[in-house]
């Protein structure tokens, strides 16, 4: 079928030309699958290549009843991108999303943790429990310290290699979205906890494909994203933290605390691996007192 070829080409385009992560590509694909399911359920005998404005509008109206404004906006944006690709590659001549507006949404500010909350979470890690004589608590402490002190995404953390550690120079090499690499500073305290974990790691019977992977489970395999979420969720529960947090919360806290302490926004952008500084600018909204301090310190008419 012609539209299946178009979908496969689109996924290749997202991966190769736009350099999107596997998770982002899956989300784009799910948007298209929702549209295809809608056509099948309602016995609308057209393919995405042939679909018209009225049908797309009806699909979005029906689907949006179950979504909040942010999810609606993401759905519309994903479909608009797909149809723009179809037009560009001459699968069709018009984009049926051109005249469909996304709902107005406010810019969502990221949740953060205070320094005390981060310290309390790390202190809650049980360093007494072992698996096969391996202290997994030392691994978990090193994980949280690395997330917070380096501002990593969870995917960047689980893919971190021993060969990415340049402790003598004070940096780690991080592979981010689209396989783009950057060097991020790492402090002596975090280096210390990683080295402690490396001593525990040496006791593991590591499977051959994970010999260079830094963070492993006790069976010698790479940790999953879900496992990192579970570690953090359990620690939050243990200290009765009244916040919903994830690995990304540590990344947000990293950026926010740097900004509060006077770090340059451009430097934060480079450390986070943001392609555009407008993404980093969201942290400017978190601490208005910082803006006031900058004005009083640097403006000639303070």
Active-site option among 34, 161, 173, 248: 248
Active-site option among 177, 218, 221, 233: 177
CB atoms within 10 A of CB 1: 8
Active-site option among 153, 201, 252, 257: 153
Phi, psi of 283 (to 5 degrees): -70, -15
Active-site option among 80, 201, 251, 252: 251
Closest listed residue to residue 6, CA positions, set 73, 107, 84: 84
Residue 173 bears catalytic tag: no
Q: Residue 42 in contact with residue 62, Cβ under 8 Å?
A: no
CB atoms within 10 A of CB 213: 20
Residue 251 bears catalytic tag: yes
Question: What is the rounded CA–CA span in Å between residue 180 and residue 250?
Answer: 21
Residue 248 bears catalytic tag: yes
Question: What is the rounded CA–CA span in Å between residue 49 and residue 60?
Answer: 17
With residue 184 as reference, give the H or E element that holds it. Answer: strand 181-185
Active-site option among 15, 161, 173, 274: 274
Residue 180 bears catalytic tag: no
Residue 274 bears catalytic tag: yes
Question: What is the rounded CA–CA span in Å between residue 72 and residue 65?
Answer: 9
Residues 6+ positions from 218 with CB-CB distance below 8 Å: 131, 132, 134, 136, 204
Residue 177 bears catalytic tag: yes
E strand spans, 45-110: none
- Residues with catalytic function: 153, 177, 248, 251, 274, 283
């Amino acid at each position: 079928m012609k539209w299946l070829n178009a979908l496969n080409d689109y996924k290749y385009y997202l991966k190769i030309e736009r350099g999107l992560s596997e998770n982002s590509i899956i989300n784009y694909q799910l948007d298209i699958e929702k549209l295809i399911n809608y056509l099948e359920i309602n016995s609308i005998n057209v393919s995405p290549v042939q679909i018209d404005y009225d049908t797309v509008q009806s699909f979005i109206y029906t689907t949006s009843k179950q979504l909040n404004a942010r999810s609606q906006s993401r759905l519309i944006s994903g479909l608009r991108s797909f149809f723009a690709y179809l037009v560009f590659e001459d699968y069709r001549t018009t984009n049926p999303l051109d005249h469909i507006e996304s709902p107005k949404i406010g810019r969502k500010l990221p949740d953060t943790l205070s320094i005390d909350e981060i310290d309390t979470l790390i202190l809650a890690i049980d360093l007494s429990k072992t698996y096969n004589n391996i202290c997994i608590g030392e691994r978990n402490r090193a994980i949280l310290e690395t997330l917070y002190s380096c501002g990593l995404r969870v995917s960047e953390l689980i893919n971190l290699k021993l060969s990415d550690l340049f402790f003598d120079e004070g940096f780690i090499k991080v592979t981010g979205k689209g396989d783009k690499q950057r060097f991020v500073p790492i402090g002596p305290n975090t280096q210390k906890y990683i080295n402690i974990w490396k001593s525990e790691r040496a006791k593991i019977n590591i499977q051959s494909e994970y010999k260079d992977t830094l963070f492993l489970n006790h069976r010698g395999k790479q940790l999953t994203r879900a496992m990192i979420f579970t570690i953090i969720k359990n620690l939050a529960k243990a200290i009765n933290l009244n916040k919903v947090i994830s690995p990304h919360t540590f990344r947000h806290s990293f950026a926010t605390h740097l900004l509060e302490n006077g770090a340059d926004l451009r430097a934060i952008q480079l450390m986070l691996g943001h392609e555009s500084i407008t993404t980093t600018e969201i942290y400017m909204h978190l601490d208005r007192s910082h803006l006031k301090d900058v004005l009083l310190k640097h403006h000639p008419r303070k």
